Structure 1
Amino acid sequence: MLEPDNREQGRKHLAEALRDLRKAAGLSGDRLAVRAAMSQSKVSRIESGKVLPTVVDVERIVKALDVPAEVAHELLSLARAANVDYASWRSYARVGLWRKQAELKALAESSSAVRQFLPAIPSGLIQAPEYARAVLTPTVKGNPDRDVEKAVRARLDSQEVLTDESRRFHFLLTEQAVRWQRAESAVIVSQLRHMSALVDQPNLDLAIIPNGVMVSAAPLNVFVVYDDRLVIVELFSGEVALRDPQDVEYHLNLFEYFRDRAVSGERAKILLDSVANEFM
């Protein structure tokens, strides 16, 4: 993620605060490690700022140090903030949006399972070329300029990760995302045919929540979960990265909730082909 200044400052403050509290308690790193059920090397990496502690890590440390409740609350708040990154699309545009596509490819290549919840638009990993071009072309005032063709090439290049059958990809769309007309009808038909052809790929689960199905939870945001370590939530202005295990677990639970109400396999192909016929 970009915009590192505030993020790095928060990590530095957290590392310094934990180190100072340990010293004030008169404990060595070894002794704190025993009390917090951590390795001494992990305690050292946290205090030096080389490793960002999770909220659970900080909870274990402050409990081991027996710090006052108000201090513990402040440190936990700092840990939650440090485990959240925000990057605006303007920031990506300044260095080249194509770099974002390379970053997403690297994230997928470092994961054994990628789950994408897509209530409004198909993932870039499953976009046909002309559809990707339409999506990446700025249309709304304030949407930053970018080298569209370079971004499209980078997006198509990132799709090579789908050929690695050692990884599992889960794409969960709403029917609204399938039907939303982001481009001319012929482009939409091509996109729908492209997704239909992907349904049979062995390492790929493409599922769709049909209109008319009872779904009590609201599909508020696009989000992607990489294994059980990272969530990327997409906003109009940018995206937020969440690393706290509780946040990751919650989004995994959300994904499974929505997935249980979706169709896949042959039923997904029938739905996609039916919508394609309507656009034709």
Structure 2
Amino acid sequence: MTFEPESLDQSRSGLAEALRNERKRAGLTQTRLARLCNMSQTKISNIEGGKLTPTIVDVELILEAIGAGSPLAAEILALARTANTEWQDLWASRRRGIDKKQNDLAGLESVTTEFRFFLPTMITGLLATPDYVRASLARNPGDMSRTVARKIERQKVLTDPSKFFTFLLTEQAVRWPLASPILMAMQIDRLISVSRIPNVRLGVIPLGTVGPVNETPLSVFTVYDRRLVQVETHTGALILRDHRDVTAYRDDFERYESYALHGDECREHLTEWASRFRS
């Protein structure tokens, strides 16, 4: 899946122009529209000026207030959905510095309360040992020591009692031999330890499980509250903020979770898989 950043930028400017034009056509001032939508006039001004990308809910409120007809409302909502999509390609991240991406994630984690991680291919950084992190970054050029240190530092968020984490891992993700057998065994030991943190729910989906996982193409994704979803691909990450997209991924997550093993049953499988690496 590929996206042209220019088209996303155009959708944002097009959305701002459309909302501005329709507000004027309805004969409303920014102040009057702000009152009708229970927003500040500054927010309306920033939306119409392209300085602030409105959420889908913001756009729905504005369209209702200005009395936009169905065909027009559908067109503007389509613009809003595209404007609320962000594409972060791998090469741009490398040019910027992968350690900078860790700062972005830390900022997002600081304002999120509920996290849902679906991990069908490999173990995420919040659960990883330093050796596993280094192995996962081996193909990246340059010195990765700062990125490794930042990934490990971010793991402190797991002990914040005000936040709640659910991790779902397939057996393939847990057992994929990214590092040497002994390092993989130590990584699985780490998963067992994390599964005992009170505000962490960790589940595994063993191979051969009969359910929707066998029927649906799988992608790594993370749901942050009801705010956004990050879907990872081989060449980058897609950020979705449309509430319909977020709801769809939350529903998928709940379906996958119903087929996962948790608690002692999960730890029994993890212990067995770690033993296989040690032997």
TM-score by length of 2: 0.89
The AA in structure 2 aligned to 1:256 is: E
Superposition map of 1:1-280 within 5 A:
7-33=8-34, 37-41=37-41, 42-67=43-68, 69-138=70-139, 145-217=141-213, 218=216, 220-280=218-278
Deviations 1:109-165 (A, max 9, x none): 111111111011111100011111100111xxxxx5243222211111111211212
| Alignment partners' CA distance in 2, 1:51 and 1:245 | 17
The AA in structure 1 aligned to 2:212 is: S
The AA in structure 1 aligned to 2:227 is: R
Q: Is the 8 A contact 2:159 2:197 kept in 1?
A: no
The AA in structure 2 aligned to 1:39 is: M
Unaligned runs of 5+ in 2: none
Q: Is the 8 A contact 1:96 1:147 kept in 2?
A: no
| Alignment partners' CA distance in 2, 1:18 and 1:51 | 12
My pick for the range that moved more, 249-258 or 46-55, is 46-55
The AA in structure 1 aligned to 2:236 is: G
Q: Is the 8 A contact 1:224 1:232 kept in 2?
A: yes
| Alignment partners' CA distance in 1, 2:168 and 2:54 | 31
Q: Is the 8 A contact 1:93 1:146 kept in 2?
A: no
Identity value in percent: 40
SS in 2 for 1:117: strand
1:190 to partner: Cα distance: 1.1
My pick for the range that moved more, 83-92 or 16-25, is 16-25
| Alignment partners' CA distance in 1, 2:119 and 2:274 | 19
The AA in structure 2 aligned to 1:119 is: P
Q: How many residues align?
A: 272
SS in 2 for 1:232: strand
The AA in structure 1 aligned to 2:242 is: D
| Alignment partners' CA distance in 2, 1:49 and 1:149 | 38
| Alignment partners' CA distance in 1, 2:271 and 2:182 | 14
| Alignment partners' CA distance in 1, 2:247 and 2:277 | 38
1:9 to partner: Cα distance: 4.3
Unaligned runs of 5+ in 1: 139-143
Q: Is the 8 A contact 1:96 1:146 kept in 2?
A: no
| Alignment partners' CA distance in 2, 1:40 and 1:196 | 48
TM-score by length of 1: 0.89
| Alignment partners' CA distance in 1, 2:217 and 2:124 | 15
1:223 to partner: Cα distance: 0.5
| Alignment partners' CA distance in 2, 1:5 and 1:109 | 30
SS in 2 for 1:263: coil
My pick for the range that moved more, 235-244 or 213-222, is 213-222
| Alignment partners' CA distance in 1, 2:238 and 2:248 | 15
Q: Is the 8 A contact 1:118 1:223 kept in 2?
A: yes
RMSD between superposed Cα atoms in Å: 2.1
